[in-house]
């Protein structure tokens, strides 16, 4: 199943110079970047991304921290496409809670803060990256960050082995 997933390199990942390393990890595994841009999110975009659903799951305070965090500096947004892209991207990214992310994953290699620590200090979990968790979420999130004419179709050299 060919799928698309949204990936955001958050302000901490951009500030730490991790953009190239992160893109490399996806491309090395045969995933294709079909849209890519750097932008400084507006609060309106952030609210469309971090909807009221997150407040229901984690609380309004957590949502507010996420909104402040995602708008504090530039991010890199990309649409990644490939076979079972959502599941495969999530494996590469690692567990949402940084302290639980395995070494070799993006979060496991570049972040370590727990939800408990962040909650106690009332800070956002700076976990470098966001990746869609389902097909439905991917569709909604891609629509927040990209117009249809910003997503491209092309063939990678290695696609003959996959498609």
Enzyme catalytic residues? 130
Contact (CB, 8 A) for 120 and 97: no
E strand or H helix at 36, and its extent? strand 32-39
Strands of the sheet with 32-39, listed across from one edge: 32-39, 75-83, 2-9, 129-131
Contact (CB, 8 A) for 105 and 92: yes
Contact (CB, 8 A) for 109 and 129: no
Give the CA distances from residue 84 to residues 11, 27, 88, 140, 144, in Å, rounded to whole numbers and listed in that order. 27, 14, 6, 18, 22
Q: What SS3 state is found at 155? A: coil
Q: Please, which residues have CB within 8 angstroms of residue 90's CB and are 6 or more apart in sequence?
A: 131, 133
């Amino acid at each position: 199943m060919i799928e698309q997933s949204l990936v955001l390199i958050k302000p901490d990942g951009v500030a730490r110079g991790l953009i190239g390393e992160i893109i490399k990890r996806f491309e090395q595994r045969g995933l294709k970047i079909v849209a890519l841009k750097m932008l400084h999110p507006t609060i309106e975009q952030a609210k469309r991304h971090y909807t009221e659903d997150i407040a229901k799951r984690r609380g309004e305070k957590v949502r507010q921290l996420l909104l402040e965090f995602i708008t504090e500096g530039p991010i890199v947004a990309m649409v990644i496409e490939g076979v079972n892209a959502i599941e495969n991207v999530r494996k590469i990214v690692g567990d949402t809670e940084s302290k639980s992310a395995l070494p070799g994953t993006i979060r496991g290699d570049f972040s370590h803060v727990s939800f408990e620590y962040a909650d106690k200090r009332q800070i956002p979990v700076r976990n470098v990256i966001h990746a869609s968790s389902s097909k439905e979420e991917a569709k909604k999130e891609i629509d927040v960050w990209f117009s249809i004419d910003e997503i491209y179709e092309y063939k990678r050299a290695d696609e003959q082995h996959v498609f």
